Amino acid sequence: MKAIWSSFDRLERVMRALAAICLMGMVVVTCSDITVRFFDRPIFGSEEIVSFLLTLVIAFSLPYSHLEKIHVGVEIVFRLLPTKTQIVLKVLTDILSLLLMITITVMMFYYFYDTWVSGEVSMNLEFPEYLIIFALAVCFCVLNFFILRDIVIIKNIKNQIISATKG
Confidence of residue 35 (pLDDT cuts 50, 70, 90): very high
Amino acid residing at 91 = V
CA 151 to chain centre: 17
The whole model's pTM is what?
0.85
Task: State the CB neighbour count (10 A cutoff) for residue 94.
Answer: 19
**pLDDT digits 0-9 by tens, 115-124:** 999 999 999 9
List the chain domain ranges: 2-166
Average pLDDT, the chain: 89
Comparison of pLDDT for 60 and 4, the residue scoring more? 60
How far apart (Å, rounded) are the C-alpha atoms in residues 89 and 95? 10
Q: How far is CA 97 from CA 72, 147, 148, 156, in A?
A: 13, 8, 10, 19
- In tens, the pLDDT along 40-75 reads 999 999 999 999 999 999 999 999 999 888 876 667
